[in-house]
A and B are shown apart, each in its own frame.
Chain A
Amino acid sequence: MKVYVPADAAARALGSDDVAAAVQAEATRRGLDLTLVRNGSRGMVWLEPLVEVERDGVRLAYGPATAADVAAILDGTSAKALGPTDDLPWMKKQTRLTFARVGLIDPLDMAHYRAEGGLVGLERALALPPTEIVQAVIDSGLRGRGGAGFPTGIKWKTVAEAKADQKYIVCNADEGDSGTFADRMLMEGDPFHLIEGMIIAGIAVGATRGYVYIRSEYPDAIRVMRAAVGIGRKAGLLGPSVLGSAYAFDMEIRVGAGAYVCGEETSLLNSLEGKRGVVRAKPPLPALEGFLGKPTVVNNVISLATVPVIFEKGAAFYRDFGLGRSRGTIPLQIAGNVRHGGLFEVAFGMGLGEIVNDIGGGTASGRPVKAVQVGGPLGAYFPSSLFDTPTCYESFASAEGLIGHAGIVVFDDTADMLKQARFAMEFCAIESCGKCTPCRIGAVRGVETIDRIARGDTAAIPLLTDLCNTMKAGSLCALGGFTPYPVMSALTHFPDDFARAKEAAE
């Protein structure tokens, strides 16, 4: 008998360790021949801890489980039974490519990884000349999943064509945006997949060293990734000869130190070099002068973890999913005040309203949805009147927003949008690296100006708009440049929240 109890951080935060201990204890008490697997999460966080029992090759789901449910779950009589996991609507509606194995396998079991299609992509890539690897990534249409949406293959081509004695692959795992947890789930649930993607990147561009920069707020992901790198070295996946080939590649896990701005690629590189996480002016591009001044690929976790899929299934297969210039799939993270929160991987193009209402099931509080923030603290707040916006880079940009890392945070009608706008400015002021004036000073003035509006001074509204334009046009990176998105969207779509204070003052 095989029982799966997730060790994903969200599952653990909801008590999965207690459930796992209860499974072990009950098995011992009954003298059962039971294998307990601590898998990643299937992404249905509202059902966590989600226990799965494998019977006749079918995985049956039970959740949300507590230690008290364990005996009945093992008997097959639990009221928490949900049926076969693969038949649950949440699973059936998805196209799980990047997250195919997350929640399915034991994250640190290399044999299990291989049995579920792991390393097929790398083996195919190893048979290709590096220029063809780069071309396949270009052909797949993959764009940076960290938020910027820059074509991954083009970035790789720049690094591949640069001449240098040493090049680097740097994985940006500084997933600091509220509402996002895809990187965390992938690293905790399928770490070899990310390693495989980084190796393919290394071979493609001629880099032999890689770093994963993980934020310190993710201790579980750090632990799993470090263990996976160790196992990868022993298995000959990492080291002087990747899977017996002529290519060398090795990598290291590095830990951030609580600075949000280090999610910006140049600031991340400075941090990795042991400096203050201050943004660098571009050019030079990191592709030409990156880590320690050497040509460097900086890619997000999801971008790199999608690369093996492109080689396993083919560039055309991947490109055939999606909408317009947004090709492939996007792991949506549905969060905040939502009934069914979690990770949902789907082809680009699904409408925002469908995600919030049909997939997410509306608010957790049962109250009407007021606003949805997409793309983290730098993303716009969308009112329900914009719920027909399809998820793709271009339509979000034309709606004065961004898709970012595809985190979707739902707020009910108790949210005060002036307060949310103020928080955006305050967060920018706290986290600004200080290099450029529009961000460093602008964010502080932004908080003050919003406070004036809150006191009923409507003359400050045009001032706020003007300030936002300055920050947008004059900031060096996305922190100062995109903070206007949540602020201006709150002001534009929810003007009543900015006028209410005036009424109170009169």
Chain B
Amino acid sequence: MPVADVLEPHARQTLDDILRAHAADEGPLLPILHDIQAAFGHVPQAVVPVIVEALNLGKAEVHGVISFYHDFRAEPAGRSVVKLCRAEACQAMGGDHLAHHAERKLGVGFHETRADGKVTLEPVYCLGLCACAPAAMVNGRLVGRLDEAAVDRIATEVLA
């Protein structure tokens, strides 16, 4: 995929609106990046020079922030995003075994998107559902007390 150096006019308008909405914020960069990801599905490289200009920051500084945080994607995610908790409370309830099962059923490894773009599988370190582990988030919907059958249902749903 070629990297777009310049945003399309419509995208540029969206970005300008986001920057304007946060003009009065103290420490606006994270809220801006969250809004960009919400609007574009990822944080495109082409937004960097525009942010640099608007916030009077260095290019390396903005790139450094984007790359520091796990949440910000350089590429769009798949049509569905499955986040499976891999932290200790879920491990105690067989989370590792379930994680391998999910990789097999979804046909994709962690941190990866299927070639057909249907699903991205990501680890998450705690959803705060530790008393009903193992837990997952499927397209924003929380699921607790996961077992193999529940993972199978999720796979059927997102691969349909």
Contact = CB atoms under 8 A, between A and B. Distances in A.
Interface string B27-68: 111110110000000000000000000010000010011001
Q: Main SS of the interface on chain A? A: mixed
Nearest to A221: B128
Contacts of B153: none
Contacts of A348: none
B71 A335 contact: no
Contact of A9 (B28, B65, B72, B142): B142
Interface residues of B, number: 42
Contact of A14 (B34, B68, B91, B145): B145
A130 interface: no
Nearest to A370: B92
A409 B142 CA distance: 20
Interface in A390-411: 407, 409-411
Contact of A341 (B85, B88, B132): B132
B71 A181 contact: no
Interface stretch (A31-39, A193-201, A254-262, A350-358): A254-262
A342 B72 CA distance: 32
A217 B124 contact: yes
Contact of A275 (B31, B65, B124, B126): B65
B34 A255 contact: yes
Contacts of A217: 124, 126-128, 137
Contact of A410 (B68, B92, B124, B145): B92
A14 B69 contact: no
Interface in A274-310: 274-278, 291-292
A12 B141 CA distance: 9
A120 B70 CA distance: 41
A45 B125 contact: no
A35 to B, nearest CB: 25
Contacts of A407: 89, 130
Contact of B93 (A184, A216, A259, A364): A364
Contact of A274 (B28, B93, B143): B28
Nearest to A209: B26
30 contacts: A10-B128, A10-B131, A12-B142, A13-B143, A46-B131, A175-B128, A177-B126, A178-B87, A178-B88, A178-B130, A179-B88, A179-B130, A181-B130, A209-B26, A220-B142, A259-B69, A275-B61, A275-B65, A277-B68, A292-B26, A336-B88, A336-B133, A341-B130, A343-B131, A373-B88, A377-B87, A409-B89, A409-B92, A409-B130, A411-B92
